[in-house]
Amino acid sequence: MAWVEILPGFESLFRKAGRESAPSFLDWTGILVNKHRHREVEQVLLESPGIGVPHPGACSFFLKKEHAVSWHDRLRNAWHGFGWCSTAVREAALLQALHAAGIGCPEVAALGESGRHAFVLLRDHADMTELR
């Protein structure tokens, strides 16, 4: 069963771009930033409707995709108190809790699942520093 949750403040932005379902987010491609066996991170741009090419006003996001969510991952997340969910959804829940507690972290824009695929979409902030 496919579902998507678009957080407040982002609904109209994604509606205008036609991104209102989990498959539309999972099919979104961009610049590959990192890749693992079942997970990848891409930097994606949301262009204004009708323009079709990136421009200075485009919104930048990091799209984290899981390609093979296993029952083992879901069971582990349930055991840790996050419910029967993917690791991407667990990450989104943690980031939202940190944000609510006033701790600086990436802003979650959307999350969802479709079959064995899942994603979390994070807003790109130019003023953040990588800690590695």
Q: Considering only CA atoms, which of 124, 92, 122, 119 is closest in space to residue 38?
A: 119
Q: Are 123 and 61 in contact (CB under 8 A)?
A: yes
Q: Considering only CA atoms, which of 22, 15, 8 is closest in space to residue 116?
A: 22
Whether 111 has a pLDDT exceeding 60, the answer reads yes
pLDDT of residue 118: 96
69-89 per-position pLDDT tens digit: 989 999 998 999 989 899 999
% of the chain exceeding 70 in pLDDT: 86
Distances in whole angstroms, Cα of residue 96 to Cα of each of 40, 78, 89, 90, 116:
21, 18, 11, 10, 23
If one compares 76 and 1, the residue with the highest pLDDT of the two is 76
| pLDDT band at 53; cut points 50, 70, 90 | very low
